Chains A and B, each alone.
Chain A
């Protein structure tokens, strides 16, 4: 399958900044994969997202999306393929009502009116906000705003979806619901997902994890490869996975569990083995 995103030696500096926000960033995301993008505050994650859909223009290097090199000529075609849910939903709302807001992106895409209404309804049902269709977006709770922002992108049915901490204000069950929703969409249509997140459980479910550090790619690997770093993960901007925390607490008490990354199920089994051989 083709590559969804191909970035090569990308450099970006904000005007008047003393150092680049992104420097020599290269990576390739095959179509259909789910990538987690992680890194400390200010490491360049949101800047990277904005370079992928041409909101910011690279100083040097290249960005290719769905086979199209990003240029002034292709930027609108590329934006039609990439949906971004921004970090702060208040910056994203344009409609007077929730339904208008979700419809807004479709009006821009010349979707026929009947289909538009269906898509808006379906997207609001998908995020469980159908009862709020006529409300003003500004008059919603924080988590409700995030759900509406996600519906706006879901309705557009993009090939590539970029979630910039899109679930940071949701309750634990709501967060899982949204992740399940995106997973379902992946089964119905080919969808590539880039999820910018500080949530270790979410990163653990990704195909690949890309770790940014001060504007550079520090590492790309599977979650298991990245999580092997144990305690060092905190310095790199990621939480220590729960099994590692418990292993450390046990090690302090003189019980040493197997080295290497264990997920919760693996650790539970290892503990049960110890219990059974007591």
Chain B
């Protein structure tokens, strides 16, 4: 299922004195099955763009096409349920969405809302809790009596339980410990590789962009200013710095080595790529 933006603009509080630009004339296609990363500085419009992927926000002008569903400024809120089931959304500060009395009921709520029988929904809850690295006994606890990172995991489990085709993730690992971040990113990657889920990830972690994404969209002041593969995007460090963005740790370190006199045909993105490039330059080639 592809998602296409055709000249999409969005204005917050349109028609009031507080009106402000959210998106400006965005045209792009997110292909079904792709792993797309969206990067951009604070306030550049990433979360606004994501909320167009399941019609939580509707364009002020232009058209968003999600599979066979067209969303225009005139689209009414009826019949959006099938769309909301297909497009699972983990919001930024996802823990704010928790509301049920127990973790189990919170996770089961989504599937039950889409017609899954209670018994099956509870089984899904137990399965998803495990998938996000939480212990079973958490199921009967209140989601509000958890640490920040534990709440985030519960919120992610709730979206996975809806078994969406498209998984939209807004900074899903902020606040997770590094082991948890790695587990979660590996789990998303597995869902992408093995079950063909389309993934759209907003992140400030350039290492995650380099490690997982096929395509990158760069946002600035509500506009889409560049799109390409991670290698294309990270080939231009000065441009990224202008946009307040960083580089993957490896690419930044390779830049430092370049200044010392090391040479690279193309900038490496991961530690193993860099290690390969260094071998012949540090006299290790014959041992590799």
Residues of A within 8 A of B (CB): 14, 17, 39-42, 45-46, 87-90, 135, 139-144, 147, 165, 168-175, 198, 200, 234-235, 237-240, 242, 245-246, 248-250, 252-255, 264, 268, 271-272, 274-275, 277-278
Contact = CB atoms under 8 A, between A and B. Distances in A.
A254 B148 contact: no
A41 B275 contact: no
A19 to B, nearest CB: 12
A172 B178 contact: no
A141 B278 CA distance: 41
A84 to B, nearest CB: 13
B177 interface: yes
A168 B92 contact: no
Nearest to A235: B179
A165 B148 contact: yes
Given A253-B275, A274-B283, A237 B47 contact: no
Given A142-B92, A142-B93, A144-B42, A173 B171 contact: no
Contact of B178 (A238, A271, A272): A238
Contacts of A264: 253, 256
Interface string B129-164: 000000000000000011111100100000000000
Contacts of B274: 246, 249
A271 to B, nearest CB: 6
B62 interface: no
24 contacts: A40-B177, A41-B148, A46-B147, A87-B148, A142-B93, A144-B43, A168-B175, A171-B244, A172-B244, A173-B244, A198-B181, A238-B178, A242-B253, A246-B275, A249-B274, A250-B275, A250-B278, A252-B275, A254-B284, A255-B278, A268-B257, A271-B278, A278-B282, A278-B283
B282 A275 contact: yes
Nearest to A139: B12
B173 to A, nearest CB: 9
A83 to B, nearest CB: 19
B231 interface: no
A198 to B, nearest CB: 5
Contacts of A165: 148, 174-175
B271 interface: yes
A171 B41 contact: yes
A148 to B, nearest CB: 11
B186 interface: no
Contact of A173 (B41, B95, B174, B284): B41
Nearest to B286: A254
A249 B12 CA distance: 48
A246 B134 CA distance: 31
B246 A249 contact: no
A275 B262 contact: yes
B93 A46 contact: no
B178 A239 contact: yes
Contacts of A198: 175-178, 181
A39 B287 CA distance: 38
A142 B41 contact: no
A179 to B, nearest CB: 14
Interface in B239-288: 241, 244-246, 249-250, 253, 256-257, 260-262, 271-272, 274-276, 278-279, 281-284, 287-288
A274 B282 contact: yes
Nearest to B178: A239
B125 interface: no
B42 A174 contact: yes
Contacts of B260: 268, 271-272, 275
A253 B287 contact: yes
B204 interface: yes
A268 B278 CA distance: 11
B253 A246 contact: yes
Given A141-B42, A144-B43, A246-B271, A275 B281 contact: yes
B182 interface: yes
A88 B206 contact: no
A86 to B, nearest CB: 9
B47 A142 contact: yes
